[in-house]
Amino acid sequence: MTPREFFSYAKKNNAQMIDLKFTDLLGTWQHCSFHIETWDEKTFEEGVGFDGSSIRGWQAINVSDMLAIPDPKTTCMDPFFEKPTVSVIADIFDPETLKEYNRDPRYVAQKAEQYLRKTGIATHCNVGPEPEFFIFDEVRYEQKQNLGFYHIDSVEGAWNTARFEEPNLGYKPSYKGGYFPVSPTDTLHDLRGEMVYEMHKLGILVEAHHHEVGTAGQSEIDMRYAPLLDMADKLMWFKYIVKNVAKRRNKTVTFMPKPIFDDNGSGMHIHMSLWNDDTPLFAGEGYAGLSETALYAIGGLLRHAQALLAFAAPTSNSYHRLVPGFEAPVNLAMSARNRSAAIRIPMYSKNPKTKRIEFRCPDPSCNGYLTFSAMLMAIIDGIKNKIDPGEPLDVDIYEMTPEELEGYQKTPALLEDALQALKDDHQFLLQGEVFTEDLIETWIDYKMKNEVDELRLRPHPYEFHLYYDC
């Protein structure tokens, strides 16, 4: 869509307001709305100004002025405003140099795609994430000097089988018992369907939706794969749609990886494949029907997995999910069909176009632009340097002894460990100037100061159970 077509589209849809959206460093959409009469075609060249010092991880207050330049290719109608409103995603520029801003996550994804083409390895990378999330009926939380608590509730929660509900009908998925039950146990089919219909209006093709393993409304909606930048944009719309449809029905959604103790957390398995135009590059005669290129790609992901998780599992809560012996894969190995390995090769079809690799450690709290780009850079590094992925792990990892697992690296135990891994291992991200030292240093510094250090200062409620009477 051109700028001229943008205004024709807005007129056709009776939209007098424009909503400009962009993504902050941590992966949250920011927005500002404008009356359409304040824009013209030059706006798509000159952009609009905003305060970059108020955006997390961006500018200092003495250099706060920034430009947001709308990308007309991202134009669509926002489905949640009362009046017709046309939406467009912006790229961020420095107003003095008029150069792209190196801390803009969308710019990182653009550079990653450009670098892939420049290497000659492939023309594009297809990405298919599987975001999981919880749909709750209520959430309350507080943190003060003398108080710290959270309380979540869901009509589906297994803890509510005895609650007085006038009447309580008892259809509640058990802990770890929520995978694929039909209604009336699955009470959220229509709500997820409503989310899917809103996605389809915006051109997001959904392959499937279902209840997930956890009690209390854990759900999954799977988008059909798309090129990296396009999918990162779609993931932003995905979260926006899921949250707003839930709110419309007086429910709340969280992409927090581990909101419920002693039940499954929410992951976001990420499927990736490289293509030369219409030719898939990951199908071959090697292990699990993979090409040599795909095996080297896995080698790169495994080599750099601990550093990748600083972006792909970027919260302290992420590491309550990545715990040895529980549901999430923590052993850095590959396997065909085995869901307990960090990298799985799905074996549903022998069609070369479906051959892909699945990284199972990430979770949906991540910034898709940065995570997808970092994974692609690890894949490229693996292919360029012919990194051996090692022997596959095709046995049930949960049945293996600690001695048998000694030879396999593990995911980081804490966010701090992942950040240290990124600090020690990020040269592969700097290739082609896709990531910059500035962005990586800013990411580590922000996470340490605002999350790791802040959590260190606070007592945990469970510590009162353990130690109050010591």
Catalytic residues: 51, 130, 132, 212, 220, 269, 339, 358, 360
Given a contact cutoff of 8 angstroms between Cβ atoms, the answer to whether 68 and 39 are in contact is: no
Q: How far apart are CA 293 and CA 281, in angstroms?
A: 7
Tally of CB atoms within 10 A around 48: 17
Q: CA geometry: angle at 263 spanning 173 and 243, to 5°?
A: 75
Helix axes 228-248, 105-119, angle to 10 degrees: 150
In sequence order, which residues have a C-beta less than 8 Å from that of residue 355 and are 6 or more positions away?
273, 280, 282, 283, 289, 290, 291, 294, 345
Q: How far apart are CA 450 and CA 348, in angstroms?
A: 42
Q: For residue 316, give both structure tokens.
A: 């302290």
Q: How far apart are CA 108 and CA 115, in angstroms?
A: 10
**What sign does the dihedral 429-435-436-440 (CA atoms) show?**
negative
Question: Does residue 84 have a cis bond before it (omega within 30 degrees)?
Answer: no
Query: 468: which strand partners?
Result: none
Given a contact cutoff of 8 angstroms between Cβ atoms, the answer to whether 362 and 268 are in contact is: yes
| Closest C-alpha among 100, 120, 83 to residue 22 | 100
Q: Where are the alpha helices (DSSP H) in 202-351?
A: 228-248, 292-303, 305-312, 318-321
Owner of token pair 């590059």? 281
Q: What DSSP state is assigned to residue 388?
A: -
If you write DSSP's letter for every residue of 36-105 in order, what string do you get?
Answer: GGG--TTHHHH-EEEEGGGSTTS--GGG-EEEEEE-GGG-EE-SSSSS-EEEEEEEEE-TTT-PBPTT-H
Q: For residue 242, give both structure tokens.
A: 């899921």
Query: 422: which strand partners?
Result: none
Owner of token pair 């209840």? 211
Question: Does residue 392 have a cis bond before it (omega within 30 degrees)?
Answer: no
Q: For residue 174, give both structure tokens.
A: 């058990």
